[in-house]
């Protein structure tokens, strides 16, 4: 067994409170510090929540600012690789929704700028965010991890490109939301759709698919559905959360992915 220990974080961020949210990240990681963590995945907007004021008035610089400096220190302290969810970065006149891949030594080894922006049912990313244009796979010491963000999950060709670039695990920091005014039935339907997309993306790419989602009320109008999960290459949910704050932990067998890549070379096909 080529084991990899993965931890996905799910929590309800304090809007705009970077210090408090990073403390929450540290607290959850610390709960699992007795294990050899190979990868920790954080949610989209992990340090601010979905907070227009923070995005517009207080973006980080192109290197992720103090938020990523803090995450680099955490990676080094706990000797783990991290997909640092997303932060809004500013580069020149443009803002990007950016995810950072950080290795165990605390070095940023890859950055992915979200390609597919969310502009529906309460989303307004394109008002202040410029879409990225590059597919990114982070080459960590234990596996190649494809980088994805939230609404990318609706676009299967994004993941086809990731496996063509060698991805064995795909990490998708997310802030998957509904409007809080929606009925409980509609919220339940959103959750079922989310779960189905996670399982489908895993099985169609023959990778482990890891989502880290926000949960709970985000301001007055948005409700993040949680249900972070880790799916195996057959599309089975091997670990998951409901609609509460938690860590989602699993020990993955990477030999399964590598065997599937040999048996079913779908990355070489269109």
d(CA 22, CA 221): 24
pTM for the model stands at 0.96
* Residue pLDDT, tens place only, 121-180: 666 788 889 999 999 999 999 999 999 999 999 999 999 999 999 999 999 999 998 888
250: CB partners within 8 A, 6+ apart: 5, 6, 230, 238, 239
Planar angle of CA 5, 6, 12, nearest 5 degrees: 150
User: What is the model's pLDDT at position 203?
Assistant: 97
Closest by Cα among 31, 55, 45, 40 to 8 = 40
Q: How many Å from the N-terminal Cα to the C-terminal Cα in the chain?
A: 30
Predicted pLDDT at 1: 67
Percent of the chain with pLDDT over 70: 98
CA atoms within 13 A on the CB side of 44: 32
Please give the pLDDT value at position 263: 92
The DSSP bridge partners found for residue 125 are none
Per-residue confidence (pLDDT) for residue 227, from 0 to 100: 97
Q: What is the CATH number of domain 3-264?
A: 3.60.110.10
Give the pLDDT of residue 53: 83
* Cα–Cα distance for residue pair 110/100, rounded to 1 Å: 6
The confidence score (pLDDT) of residue 178 equals 86
**What percent of the chain shows pLDDT beyond 90?**
82
Please state the rounded mean pLDDT for residues 236-252: 96
pLDDT band per the 50, 70, 90 thresholds, residue 7: very high
SS3 87: strand
pLDDT at residue 69 above 70?
A: yes
Is residue 222 a contact partner of residue 50, using CB atoms and an 8 Å limit?
Answer: yes
Report the pLDDT averaged over residues 70-91. Answer: 97
17-29 per-position pLDDT tens digit = 999 999 999 999 9
Domain ranges of the chain: 3-264
For 244, residues 6+ apart whose C-beta sits below 8 A from its C-beta are: 10, 215, 226
């Amino acid at each position: 067994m080529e084991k990899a220990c993965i931890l996905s974080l799910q929590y309800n961020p304090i809007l705009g409170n970077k210090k408090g949210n990073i403390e929450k990240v540290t607290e959850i990681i610390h709960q699992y510090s007795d294990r050899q963590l190979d990868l920790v995945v954080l949610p989209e907007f992990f340090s601010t929540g979905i907070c227009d004021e923070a995005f517009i008035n207080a973006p980080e610089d192109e290197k992720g600012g103090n938020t990523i400096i803090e995450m680099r220190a955490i990676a080094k302290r706990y000797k783990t690789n991290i997909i640092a969810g997303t932060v809004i970065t500013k580069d020149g006149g443009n803002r990007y929704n950016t995810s950072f891949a950080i290795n165990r030594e605390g070095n940023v080894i890859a950055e992915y700028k979200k390609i597919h922006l969310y502009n529906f049912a309460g989303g307004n990313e394109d008002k202040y965010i410029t879409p990225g244009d590059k597919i990114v796979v982070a080459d960590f010491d234990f596996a190649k991890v494809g980088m994805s963000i939230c609404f990318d999950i609706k676009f299967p060709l994004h993941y086809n490109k990731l496996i063509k670039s060698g991805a064995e695990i795909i990490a998708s920091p997310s802030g998957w939301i509904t409007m809080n005014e929606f009925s409980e039935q509609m919220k339940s339907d959103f959750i079922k759709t989310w779960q189905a997309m996670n399982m489908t993306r895993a099985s169609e790419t023959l990778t482990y698919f890891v989502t880290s989602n926000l949960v709970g009320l985000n301001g007055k109008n948005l409700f993040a559905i949680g249900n972070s999960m880790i799916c195996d290459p057959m599309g089975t949910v091997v670990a998951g959360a409901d609609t509460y704050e938690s860590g989602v932990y699993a020990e993955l067998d990477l030999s399964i992915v590598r065997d599937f890549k040999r048996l079913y070379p779908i990355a070489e096909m269109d």
